[in-house]
Amino acid sequence: MNHHFRPFFYFFLIILLFGCQEKRPPNIVLIMADDLGYETIGANGGTTYQTPNIDLMANQGIRFEHCYAQPLCTPSRVQIMTGIYNVRNYVRFGLLDTNQTTFGHLFREAGYATCIVGKWQLGKDPVSPHQAGFDQYCLWQVSEGRVDSTGRDTRFSQPVLQTNRELKIYDSHDYGPDIVSQFGIDFMEKAAKDSRPFLLYYPMILTHCPFSPTPDSPEWLEDDTAVMKYKGHAHYFEDMVSYTDKIVGNINQKLEELGIAENTIVIFTGDNGTDIPVVSTLNGRKVAGAKGQSTDAGTRVPLLVQWPGTISAGMVNQDLVDFSDMLPTMCEIADIPAPGTIDGQSFMPQLMGKTGHPREWIYSWFSRNGADSLARVFARNQRYKLYRNGEFYDVPNDYEEENPLNETELSPEQKKIHKMLQGVIDQYEGRRLEEIPSE
């Protein structure tokens, strides 16, 4: 090459390289804590626990006041992964219908490296996480059950985990949440090294019972009785929240170390309300955990999203979000077409500080084992909730849902909202387990 042209060649090469970096698809990390309700997070006004790393996400990104999950783990997992309301595709507890399209499929088909770590509980075939769209996995409760032959819970100390179909029983000093989170961190590091965009989905093992010591607890490896009980000792819940927060901090720190934080969006939420033995304080109000119940304490969950340099710091949003909205939002972030058959809608405009198209309502069909006759069905907005059986509540003035409003005494505004919510419930009647067209 003529030396007179070399400076121009290198200049254009640099411009080309930087241009390619600018257009690189964003990475997505979706973290979903287990049994961690809205009231547990400091940034939401919770004062019982210390959550500095999660609070930092709120300070550096956006915090949503009205995000709602299903009241229980499997229903929430099916809804968040497919973007479809349970009434249309939820089969039974512990199972994801293999015919469903998940965000794992969509991102893998778009060229993303995909990985799931943490808790599975969506099918006992070791190949099922791969079938759900994930290249790699490190999970608890795939082919094995919740406890071993001695009755010991296998998710925390001395965990039983499966990594890409290989089952392994770890030592007593090993901690399940550490192993799965480290697998996720290693996955991010490899994808970054390979210059490949990635999706890491982390349905956490924490903070589900048995409430038991963490490696940061003084009683670690000394109090082994908790893992032999389903609930355990509720006073360890505080330690488990702290460890959850620590892991979130570790993930965000690794993104900084890898130099990819500004090209990675991190979403933190919870799969349902806090477990029943736990009582926390939110803005001076005592909130009893209501996992499995359709009240606010059973369905309202934290939602914090950070994307340094893209999402403005310290935003708080009052719009409605439910778990069906995660898939289309993630797809819009990554410029991946979302299926046209889903129920969710993207809240990406709100992430950018724009108005977007806020929801007027959310809908919930919840039945643990799939029987419609036992389903708890409701539609709601930020304030009012209407059940299929006709019960109508003013939630902020009746969080426990003990005093339904009298339909004959509603104000004109309440009547308008009641009619709108009834229309939503009617819209989904008769759609139980309908066939979802493939995309």
pLDDT tens digits for range 181-192 = 999 999 999 999
Q: Are 317 and 405 contained in the same domain?
A: no
Question: Is the same domain home to 92 and 124?
Answer: yes
Neighbours of 129 (CB within 10 A): 28
CATH of the domain at 195: 3.40.720.10
Tokens read off for 273: 């309300």
Q: Are residues 306 and 403 in the same domain?
A: no
pLDDT tens, position by position, 43-79: 999 999 999 999 999 999 999 999 999 999 999 999 9
Residue 411, judged by CB atoms within 10 A of its CB (0-12, 13-18, 19+), counts as exposed
Residue range of the domain that includes 129: 24-360
Whether 18 is covered by a domain: the verdict is: no
Indicate whether 395 and 258 sit together in one domain: no
The last residue of one of the domains, among 339, 360, 381, is 360
Q: Is residue 13 part of a domain?
A: no
Whether residues 353 and 420 share a domain: the answer is no
Q: Residue 354 domain-assigned? A: yes
The span from the CA of 412 to the CA of 416, in Å, is 6
Whether residues 386 and 326 fall in one domain: no
Q: Which residues of the chain have pLDDT under 50?
A: 4-21
Q: Is the dihedral of CA 152, 247, 134, 272 positive or negative?
A: positive
Same domain as 410, residue 382: yes
The number of folded domains in the chain is 2
Q: Does 311 share its domain with 242?
A: yes
Dihedral of alpha carbons 394, 296, 368, 438, sign: positive
> Would you state the pLDDT for residue 2?
54
Residues 244 and 206 in one domain: yes
Other Cβ atoms within 10 Å of 94 Cβ, number = 17
Q: What pLDDT is recorded for position 5?
A: 46
- Residue 437 within any structural domain of the chain: no
| Per-residue model confidence (pLDDT) at position 439 | 60
pLDDT at residue 222 in the model: 87
- CA–CA gap between residue 272 and residue 290 (Å, rounded): 9
| 312 and 424 share one domain | no
User: Which residue among 360, 390, 409 closes a domain?
Assistant: 360
Three-state SS across the chain?
CCCCCHHHHHHHHHHHHHHHHHCCCCEEEEEEECCCCHHHCHHHCECCCCCHHHHHHHHHCEEEEEEECCCCHHHHHHHHHHCCCHHHHCCCCCCCCCCCCCHHHHHHHCCCEEEEEEECCCCCCCCHHHHCCCCEEEEECCCCCCECCCCCECCCECCEEEECCEEEECCCCCEHHHHHHHHHHHHHHHHHHCCCCEEEEEECCCCCCCECCCCCCCCCCCCCCHHHCCCECHHHHHHHHHHHHHHHHHHHHHHHHCCCHHHEEEEEEECCCCCCCCEEEECCEEEECCCCCCCHHHHEEEEEEECCCCCCCCEEEEEEEEHHHHHHHHHHHHCCCCCCCCCCCCCHHHHCCCCCCCCCCEEEEECCCCCHHHCEEEEECCCEEEECCCCEEEHHHCCCCCCCCCHHHCCHHHHHHHHHHHHHHHHHCCCCCCCCCCC
Q: Alpha-carbon distance 392 to 413, whole Å?
A: 14
- Is residue 225 situated within a structural domain? yes
| Region at 248 (left for phi over 0; alpha for psi -120 to 50; beta for the rest) | alpha
Q: Do residues 28 and 93 both lie within one domain?
A: yes
Q: What is the pLDDT of residue 21?
A: 45
Residues 316 and 293 in one domain: yes
Q: Is position 367 within any domain?
A: no
pLDDT at 231: 87
Does 17 map to a domain? no
- Nearest Cα residue to 439 out of 322, 327, 325, 321: 327
* Neighbouring-strand partners of residue 163: 138, 166
Last residue of a domain, one of 335, 360, 385: 360
What are 174's two structure tokens? 């090993």
Instruction: For residues 198 and 114, give the distance between their C-alpha atoms in angstroms, rounded to a whole number.
Output: 6
59 falls within a domain = yes
Residue 20's pLDDT is: 44
Euclidean distance between CA atoms 378 and 54, whole angstroms? 30
